[in-house]
């Protein structure tokens, strides 16, 4: 035993004698995690959050969150001697007069976009594989909370430099606050400390952006990960994988290495984007001035759908009792997003109500094996994509030689017509894929090889699947439709009332699928031929 | 002998007809030929070089060109018609801008005349401008001597004026923007200083007139200086992504950013075979 090993051993037993850490560590370092690329989407989000904390801290060293007027004297000539707020001037200072400042600003902003895009991708993975089902409903709720806060946090960060683009965004945020009936104007006055733009908004959102929300993020992310740890990670179905085990690699050393390496890869990709692609070039936008605006003012993509909704709203207002209710802002700016996020948060509970499924699930579902859910997800994505297109309608119009009016009418109609169409098409595709799976299991894979038999008959050679592949394609549960009684024991008709009828209808839609081949069917055919 | 070789060639091609790239390759060929046909069909009308045999006065010449190339829409005496406005009083500056940037004569009756390769050369444009200027007084052509923006303009002040008066249609960096019903504010990048000045004075298409009372001549020079500075400004943060704001940034993060990361994740979790 070398000297180093002896000292290390002594330190370890000193700590272990006092904390009992060895037992805990042995248990947890050998914890097993399943391996799949889609399980790393959440990691992208976590790592970009760390990058955001680090690069954001760097930026606070020079950023001056103040709306006091200054005359710019820095090194960017086209803005010299222009009156602007201290926050805009200090952002210019970071960009042009702090070593590495522009790179850090760009890394921070790209990391924020990757953070949001990663969250949405992770959310889609969790949704389409059914990972939110019991016992993980609470973690789904935390996730929805994180997405919502991420949108707010991102918007506040975009607003801080007080440039012409972000000021326009704050102006729209103010309009949305004002659209709240009765309390709207009071709330807006409270938030801005008087009339827009005032002198207090930037300092206030700075505190929220760098202190309050990151603190909440840290807490929620910790709980999110602790729940993953405690409830164990879900896994894709396959041979040897059950609801009671986790098949994968141990945390130490495999995952430590993989995750550690992946952190640096995420950092590398973010730094690459920050180094080669311009983001939020605030010096081109100019300082905020309520009297100015630029064509093609847009929010970042995670707010783009909201902007698209507001842009497509017809101009409807009600005047009553000396109050104006701006439905054209209220509905797209608050009511529709409120409904969307509530439905998203409640989806695990809605689904379990529809299917009557109260059991625990640790095996994921292939999206095709739950056609109704997959179709609901695709429908929601279609909705968001259609309104997102309208959010960028001016940029699309100029680049593709279309007219804004055409795009607006396309999306106004499309937002109602396209999602249901996508629902039906997705569901049909899922059922077709199930049918293809069934064919594969029963008749093997079509090899495209034609063989002529001695008596002249042509056949196509089918290659039989391996037992493992057959298992993976047939293991999924296919629950029956929920039985909602038409009459109870006393002959009372329809005991659950209208609610029961709806539930039965939903349940029926939800279980619609192609029967997976049974054992006897597979045996009867043998396999691999016709 | 020759025929055999040809038939061999066809056989050779025919052997590849079931190749897996045959479909995409055919599609590519079809698309290119379709595009080429369209390109030829929609090409600009060939410019009939005027045979300036006897060059009388500039105005006479302008009147002749006008009668040939413009009068069918604008009327024989430039009085306008059902499809084109009267040109009486628009001034030489307007002609210099519209003809000099190729917007007139219009290629088709779409929402807006677009910038294209000028049909008339400098002399013909000058002749047309001189003729239209005789119809009624109007803003005169801006000559290079008046465009002292390099000396008299102030970039920063021009930027403020630009953001107040121009950015709402032409975008914060002069990249252009969309207006209603398919009309648009064109990009200002690569536009000659003279034409920018003339556009401000004459208000072509959907653009308002910025008279010398609204924006003084010195201020106009400052705006031009700022536009020229924006044009030559290097992309300080890396690839500019078109200078159109967050739309292209969002597109890049979902394609290159997340695409790259997911690609790496797939690679990291790939099973060794």
CATH, residue B211:
1.10.760.10
Q: Which pLDDT band holds residue A28 (cuts at 50, 70, 90)?
A: confident
Asked if residue A182 is part of any domain, the answer here is yes
Say yes or no to pLDDT of B53 above 70: no
Is A419 an interface residue toward B (CB < 8 Å)? no
Residues of B within 8 A of A161 (CB-CB) are none
A39 contacts on B by Cβ (under 8 Å): 269
| Model confidence band, residue A272 (pLDDT cutoffs 50, 70, 90) | very high
pLDDT at B54: 38
Closest CA in chain A for residue B254? A117
Structural domain harbouring A468: 443-525
Of B146, B118, B139, the C-alpha closest to B224 is: B146
Q: List b or e across B49-72, with b for residues whose CB sees 16 or more CB atoms inside 10 angstroms.
A: ebeeeeeeeeeebbbbbbeebbbe
Q: What is the pLDDT of residue A35?
A: 87
pLDDT at B47: 45
Residue A131, pLDDT above cutoff 60:
yes
Q: What is the pLDDT of residue B37?
A: 80
List beta partners, residue B177.
Answer: B185
Q: Which residues of B touch A36 (CB under 8 A)?
A: 269
Question: What does the alpha-carbon distance between residue A333 and residue A301 come to, in Å, rounded to a whole number?
Answer: 16
In a domain, A379, yes or no: no
Give the CA-trace dihedral at A406, A409, A412, A418, to 10 degrees: -70
Residue A527 pLDDT more than 60?
Answer: no
B167 and A164: CB-CB below 8 Å? Answer: yes
Q: In this complex, do A296 and B171 lie within 8 Å of one another by their Cβ atoms?
A: yes
Q: What is the CA radius of gyration of chain B?
A: 26
Chain B contacts in chain A segment 372-401 (CB below 8 A): 392-395, 397-398, 401
Q: Are A368 and A433 in contact (CB under 8 A)?
A: yes
- Asked whether B198 and B97 are in contact (CB, 8 A), the reply is yes
Rounded mean pLDDT, A405-421: 96
What is residue B83's predicted lDDT score, i.e. its pLDDT?
Answer: 87
The mean pLDDT value of chain B amounts to 87
Inter-chain CB proximity B261 and A266 less than 8 Å = yes
Q: What is the pTM of this model?
A: 0.88
Instruction: Report if residue A126 sits inside a domain.
Output: yes
Residue A3 has pLDDT above 80, yes or no: yes
Selected residues 78-107 of chain A with any CB under 8 Å from a CB in chain B: 78-82, 95-96, 102, 106
Contact residues, chain A, for B179 at CB < 8 Å? 404
Residue range A147-154: mean pLDDT, rounded: 97
pLDDT in the model for residue B272: 64
Q: Supply the pLDDT for residue B273.
A: 57
Is residue A81 exposed (0-12), middle (13-18) or buried (19+ Cβ within 10 Å)? exposed
Q: Is the pLDDT of residue A387 over 80?
A: yes
**Has residue B249 been placed in a domain?**
no
Of B88, B103, B133, the residue at which a domain comes to its end is B133
> Which pLDDT score is estimated for A107?
97
B52 lies in a domain?
no
* Closest residue, chain A, to B237 (C-alpha): A278
Return the closest-CA partner of residue B157 out of B216, B200, B233: B216
Tokens standing for A164?
A: 């012409």
Average pLDDT in the B173-182 region? 92
Q: What pLDDT, on a 0 to 100 scale, did the predictor assign at position A392?
A: 94
Are B126 and B149 found together in one domain?
Answer: no
Chain centroid to CA A156: 19
Would you say residue B31 lies in a domain? no
A61-65, A248-252, A294-298: which range is least confident on average? A248-252
CA atoms within 13 Å, Cβ hemisphere of B196:
26
> Other C-beta atoms within 10 Å of A161: how many?
28
B86 and B160 in a single domain? The answer is no
The answer on B181 and B103 residing in a single domain is no
Task: Output the domain CATH number for residue A93.
Answer: 1.20.810.10
Give B 252-271 residues with CB within 8 A of chain A: 252-254, 256-258, 260-262, 264-266, 268-269
Question: Measuring CA to CA, which residue among B97, A365, B96 is closest to residue A357?
Answer: A365
Q: Are residues B174 and B114 in the same domain?
A: no
Would you place residue A505 in the very low, low, confident or very high pLDDT band (cuts 50, 70, 90)?
confident
Q: Residue A383 falls within a domain, yes or no?
A: no
C-alpha closest to that of A235 among A412, A105, A365: A365
Do A374 and A367 touch, CB atoms closer than 8 A?
yes
Does A19 fall in a domain? no
Contacts of range B112-118, beta carbons closer than 8 Å, 24 or more positions apart = B112/B182, B112/B183, B112/B184, B112/B205, B112/B206, B113/B205, B114/B186, B115/B186, B116/B44, B117/B44
At residue A303 the predicted structure's pLDDT band, cuts being 50, 70 and 90, is very high
Of the candidate ranges A168-177, A370-379, A474-483, B230-239, the one whose mean pLDDT is the lowest = A474-483
Residues A342 and A491 placed together within one structural domain of the fold: no
- Binned at pLDDT 50, 70 and 90, residue A526 comes out as low
Q: What is the domain extent for residue B100?
A: 58-133
Residue A520 Cα, gap to closest chain B Cα (Å): 33
Q: Which of B235, B243, B257 sits opposite A114 (nearest CB)?
A: B257
pLDDT of residue A290: 93
Interface-testing mutation among B253, B264, B268, with chain A (most A C-beta atoms within 10 A): B253
d(C-alpha A163, C-alpha A84), whole Å = 9
| Average of per-residue pLDDT across A322-349 | 94
Pick from B133, B167, B197: which residue ends a domain? B133
Tell me, yes or no, whether A347 and A462 share the same domain: no
Whether A159 is covered by a domain: the verdict is: yes
pLDDT at res. B7:
56
- Among B155, B226, B265, whose Cβ lies nearest the Cβ of A37? B265
Per the document, the length of chain A is 530
The rounded distance, in Å, linking the Cα atoms of B246 and A273 is 14
Is A472 within the bounds of a domain? yes
Give the whole-number percent of chain B exceeding pLDDT 70. 89
pLDDT higher than threshold 50 for residue A263: yes
Contact partners, residue B27, CB within 8 Å, separation at least 6: none
* pLDDT tier for residue A262 given thresholds of 50, 70 and 90: very high
Do B127 and B155 fall into the same domain?
Answer: no
% of chain A surpassing 90 pLDDT = 71
Least confident span in A341-345, A355-359, B3-7, B95-99: B3-7
Do B151 and B226 fall into the same domain? Answer: yes
B105-115 residue pLDDT tens? 888 887 888 89
What is the reported pLDDT for A483? 79
For residue B197, is it within any domain?
A: yes
Q: What is the pLDDT of residues A184-221, one digit of tens each?
A: 999 999 999 999 999 999 999 999 999 999 999 999 99
Q: Which pLDDT does position B50 carry in this prediction? A: 47
In A, which residues are within 8 Å of B20 by CB distance? none
Distance from CA of A15 to the nearest CA of B (A): 35
Residues 8-47 in A contacting B (C-alpha not used; CB under 8 Å): 35-41, 43-44
Whether residue A327 contacts residue A317, with contact meaning beta carbons closer than 8 Å, is answered with yes
Number of domains in chain B: 2
| A63 domain-assigned | yes
Nearest CA-CA partner of A143 in A301, A302, A347, A306? A347
Same domain as B174, residue B129: no
Nearest to A281 among B167, B237, B250 (CB): B237
Q: How far apart are CA B200 and CA B162, in angstroms?
A: 12
Nearest CB to A165 within list B184, B245, B264: B245
Q: How close B164 gets to chain A, by Cα (Å)?
A: 5
Q: What is the pLDDT of residues B67-94, one digit of tens each?
A: 998 999 999 989 988 889 999 999 999 9
Across chain A, mean pLDDT equals 92
Question: How would you write A183-221 as a 3-class SS string?
Answer: CHHHHHHHHHCCCCCCCCHHHHHHHHHHHHHHHHHHHHH
**Which whole number is the average pLDDT over B258-265?**
95
A487 - beta bridge partners?
A: A493
Q: Are A60 and A210 in contact (CB under 8 A)?
A: yes
Distance CA A257, CA A32 (A): 14
Same domain, B121 and B175: no
Per the DSSP assignment, residues forming a β-bridge with A83 are: A71
Shortest alpha-carbon distance between residue B88 and chain A (Å) = 32
pLDDT of B3 > 70? The answer is no
Domain-embedded: residue B220: yes
Chain A residues near residue B260 by CB distance under 8 angstroms: 269
Contacts of B229 in chain A (CB under 8 A): 77-78
Chain B positions in Cβ-Cβ contact with residue A266 (cut-off 8 Å): 261
Please, what is the end-to-end C-alpha distance for chain A in angstroms? Answer: 68
- ipTM for this model: 0.91
d(CA A376, CA A513): 15
Residues A361 and A466 in one domain: no
| SS3 at position A326 | strand
Total number of domains constituting chain A: 2
Least confident of A10-19, A184-193, B48-57, B263-272: B48-57
Mutation pick from B181, B228, B246, B251 vs chain A, by most beta carbons of A within 10 Å, is B246
pLDDT band at B52 (very low <50, low <70, confident <90, very high): very low
């Amino acid at each position: 035993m070398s000297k180093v090993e002896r000292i290390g051993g002594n330190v370890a037993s000193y700590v272990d004698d006092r904390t009992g850490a060895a037992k805990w560590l042995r248990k947890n370092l050998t914890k097993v995690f399943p391996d799949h690329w889609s399980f790393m989407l959440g990691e992208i989000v976590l790592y970009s959050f760390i990058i955001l904390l680090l690069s954001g801290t760097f930026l606070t060293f020079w950023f001056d969150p103040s709306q006091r007027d200054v005359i710019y004297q820095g090194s960017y000539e086209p803005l010299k001697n222009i009156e602007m707020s201290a926050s805009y001037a200090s952002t210019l200072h970071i960009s042009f007069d702090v070593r590495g400042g522009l790179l850090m600003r760009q890394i921070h902003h790209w990391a924020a976009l990757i953070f949001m895009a990663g969250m949405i991708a992770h959310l889609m993975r969790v949704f389409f594989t059914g990972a939110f089902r019991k016992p993980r409903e609470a973690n789904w709720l935390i996730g929805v909370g994180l997405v919502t806060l991420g949108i707010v946090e991102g918007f506040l960060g975009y607003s801080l430099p007080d440039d012409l683009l972000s000021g326009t965004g704050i102006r729209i945020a103010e309009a949305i606050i004002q659209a709240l009936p009765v309390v709207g104007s009071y709330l807006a006055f409270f938030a801005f400390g008087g009339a827009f733009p005032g002198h207090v908004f930037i300092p206030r959102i700075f505190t929220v952006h760098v202190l309050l929300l990151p603190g909440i993020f840290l807490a929620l992310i910790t709980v999110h990960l602790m729940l993953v740890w405690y409830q164990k990670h879900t896994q894709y179905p396959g041979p040897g994988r059950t609801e009671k085990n986790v098949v994968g690699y141990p945390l130490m050393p495999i995952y430590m290495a993989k995750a550690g390496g992946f952190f640096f890869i995420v950092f590398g990709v973010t730094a690459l984007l920050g180094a080669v692609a311009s983001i939020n070039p605030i010096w081109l936008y100019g300082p905020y001035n309520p009297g100015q605006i630029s064509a093609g003012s847009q929010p970042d993509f995670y707010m783009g759908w909201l902007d698209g909704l507001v842009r497509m709203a017809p101009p409807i207002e009600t005047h009553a009792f000396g109050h104006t209710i701006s439905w054209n802002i209220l509905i797209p700016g608050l009511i529709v997003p409120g409904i969307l996020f509530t439905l998203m948060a409640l989806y695990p509970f809605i689904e379990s109500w529809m299917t009557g499924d109260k059991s625990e699930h640790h095996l994921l579902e292939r999206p095709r094996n739950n056609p109704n859910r997959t179709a609901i997800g695709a429908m929601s994505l279609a909705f968001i994509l259609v309104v997102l297109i309208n959010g960028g309608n001016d940029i699309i119009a100029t680049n593709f030689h279309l007219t804004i009016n055409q795009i607006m009418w396309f999306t106004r109609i499309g937002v109602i017509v396209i999602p249901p169409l996508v629902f039906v098409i997705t569901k049909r595709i899922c059922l077709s894929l199930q049918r293809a799976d069934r064919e594969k299991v029963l008749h093997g894979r079509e090899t495209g090889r034609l063989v002529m038999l001695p008596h002249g008959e042509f056949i196509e050679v089918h290659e039989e699947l391996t037992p493992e592949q057959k298992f993976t394609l047939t293991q999924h549960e296919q629950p029956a439709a929920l039985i909602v009684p038409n009459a109870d024991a006393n002959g009372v008709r329809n005991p659950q009332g209208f609610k029961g009828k709806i539930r039965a209808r939903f349940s029926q839609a939800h279980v619609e699928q192609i029967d997976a081949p049974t054992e006897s069917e597979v045996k009867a055919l043998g396999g691999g031929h016709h | 002998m020759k025929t055999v070789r040809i038939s061999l060639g066809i056989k050779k091609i025919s052997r590849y007809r079931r190749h897996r790239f045959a479909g995409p390759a055919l599609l590519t060929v079809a698309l290119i030929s379709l595009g080429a046909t369209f390109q030829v069909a929609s090409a600009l009308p060939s410019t009939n070089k005027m045979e300036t045999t006897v060059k009388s006065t500039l105005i006479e010449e302008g009147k002749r060109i006008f009668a040939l190339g413009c009068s069918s829409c604008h009327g024989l005496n430039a009085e306008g018609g059902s499809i084109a406005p009267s040109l009486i009083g628009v001034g030489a500056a307007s002609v210099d801008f519209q003809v000099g940037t190729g917007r007139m004569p219009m290629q088709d009756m779409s929402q807006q005349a677009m910038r294209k390769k000028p049909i008339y050369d400098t002399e013909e444009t000058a002749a047309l401008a001189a003729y239209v200027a005789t119809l009624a007084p109007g803003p005169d052509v801006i000559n290079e001597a008046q465009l002292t923006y390099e000396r008299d303009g102030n970039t920063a002040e021009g930027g403020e004026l630009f953001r107040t008066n121009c950015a709402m249609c032409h975008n914060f960096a002069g990249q252009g923007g969309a207006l209603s019903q398919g009309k648009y504010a064109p990009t200002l990048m690569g536009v000659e200083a003279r034409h920018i000045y003339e556009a401000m004075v004459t208000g072509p298409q959907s653009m308002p007139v910025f008279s010398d009372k609204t924006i003084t001549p010195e201020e106009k020079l400052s705006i031009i200086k700022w536009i020229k500075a924006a044009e030559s400004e290097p992309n300080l943060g890396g690839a500019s992504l078109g200078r159109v704001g967050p739309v292209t940034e969002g597109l890049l993060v979902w394609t290159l950013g997340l695409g790259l990361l997911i690609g790496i994740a797939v690679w990291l979790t790939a099973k060794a075979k």
